[in-house]
Structure 1
Amino acid sequence: MPDAHATPALDLAADVVTITRAICDVPSVSGDEGRLAELVMRALAGAAHLELVRDGDAVVARTNLGRDRRVVIAGHLDTVPINGNVPTRFETDEDGTEYLWGRGTVDMKAGVAVQLKLAAELAEPAVDVTWVWYDHEEVSAALNGLGRIARTAPGLLAGDFAILGEPSNGQVEGGCNGTLRAEVRTSGLRAHSARSWVGDNAIHKLAPALAKLAAYEAETIEVDGLAYREGLNAVIVRGGIAGNVIPDEAVLEVNYRFAPSKSAAEAAEFVTAFFDGFEVAVVDAADGARPGLDDPLAQEFVRAVGAEARPKYGWTDVARFSAMGVPAVNFGPGDPLKAHADDERVAVAQIVDCERALRAWLTAAG
């Protein structure tokens, strides 16, 4: 395990922006979250109101106050690879807005910092809270720390409502779209390209599928009052073995982002029918999550934080809570368009505002 002693301890009594900067300056690219997870454990070890559980490189902290309702608040510790954007720094743009710049500031260590500060300080929240900081969110779903806990210790994630601190510009983004990847495959006959007429070009056979995709107009579907925009797009094309050989196989990889009113199985049926006449194989699929904004706790939360409820177009781990029957929303600082960007940066005021809003709700919920 990485040596946490080589890094200064996290001071959760500091302001939330300072905490954000501190954890962003601890590299935690997926697979290397151990040092940060250990720092989180050490920082919370003195909080008598919290029960702490370490699960691999995930940390769970729970209050057990006997409240009528329990809220799960989660955030991932890992980031995509660093590209010259650590350590962090402050920037001010031409209109005077101050930003914290650097990898993880948006996705999603600012949200994690908000959660850590509140977990340490709120000994008597109005609801029982389960705080979860987990590993491996930015890589294969099979490695996802939240998914691992859901499989091996689902009781740790039990609750009446869940909040995922994914960047949402400080607004509430309900649910999420589902996602599906499929391969559309064509076959032909190899031949020397100088005598192409004796072969059968598999790449050319993809042309009708590509033309159909280019002409397709994706739907916008209303689910529980929110409008989810779908998308069906070619993302990868593979084929050919050499510059002088007619290819005998070609593969078009398609990504379908579908509204949470559809199941992954229904999405697979749609894609298979859309490419009728082609060989189609679904290689990956994940259900979306309905917004859950008809739940009283969700409605209280939206009102309390003064946010506008919006749809979440990308897939997030709210879908894992939805699958467990727990309504869940995304709420965190940062512009999602800056997630993973080399100029990733979060408005300082947005971090502070998210902390204030979440604190107010947790101390007055219901």
Structure 2
Amino acid sequence: MTALAIETAAGGGTVGSTGFAITANGAYGARLVRNGGDGDAWFPERWTLDGPEPYAVPLPGNQPEEPDTGVLPMADGRVLIHRRVADRHTFALLYPTGPATGELPLGAVDAAAGALTLLPPSPDGSCAYALAAGPDDSALWLVAGGAFGPELVARVKGRCSGGVWLDRTGRMLALDRDLDGRTKAVAIDLERGGEVTELLQITEDSDDRLLLADADSGLILIRSNAPGHDRLGWGVLGSTLPVRFPECLRLADAAVTPFAVQPGLVLMPESCQVALRIDAASGSWLGIWRPAGRHLHQLAAPQGWLAGSGLWTREGVLRLPYSTDANPCAVLGVPAPPDPAPAPAPPPVRPAAPKPVPLAQAPLTGRRQPTGDR
């Protein structure tokens, strides 16, 4: 299962929520919520997603959290919390202990490192990383899973953002690096001291960002201005084939952002279902698309959807978490819709008898290559 933590909309059972993140294996989710009956009392909440019915466990600490506190679920059911305390960024693991919340401090990073942002959950589920982006370089910190508290694992030239895992082990991480006035996706090898290699360059002058990647099929979703303005495109990791920019993913007056790819389809990138969040002035709704289908299905999202979050099963069912007054912790399964049937082909026309062409006038070249968006 593949999912990213993306800013979410308000749920029905709470006044608001900041972000909902899901572990790479789909077992747990976590978010920061605010209880409508207690003013600005923010607290972490863990969702268990791999049982017969999803359920949420509140993890309040000794005092309310700040609304910009970061939370991230771990594969063992604990929740990483990132707080800004005076001149430090502190990290701890939270877990339920009966009626109370247990807390295991992990250490701190000096605030002089800059603003730290938690990256999406690592595929191995036991480590967590944070990115501190400065004007000239960026620092990658291991904030959970290390031996001695937070560790600086890589320093990358340029201002970095994003964060997409490229494998199932948590070794290869992609970041979007702004350097010399251009933004390009680069790969960071965490087992080779943060070695940086170029990952995505459509043209020398384009801004090419990586939004999503699936390790099984190699499918990647990108955003680039190589076509002349920002477009959503897709390609295959490590392939020499060009990136394609489907016209169906280009909507007027709406932003389209992918958030989950169907896993398990090894070497079948064109068959992967992709879930997209569509945002417009009228609200947010759901899009489902696959490269081979060339059609964007637009569907109403469930009421209280934690917009921009969800995950695919290997069988092609999209699971969307949502929260309402009646169901404060719930998941809706959406099967992938079938693609429209292709238009019937016109009946064959019997060709006229060919006329001989003098050899001197016979065309030797000129067969046109097929073109078209996918």
Q: Quick check: TM above 0.5?
A: no
Using structure 1 for the length normalisation, give the TM-score.
0.22
User: Which protein has the bigger strand share?
Assistant: 2
Using structure 2 for the length normalisation, give the TM-score.
0.22
Higher relative contact order (CA 8 A, sep 6+): 1
User: Which protein has the bigger helix share?
Assistant: 1
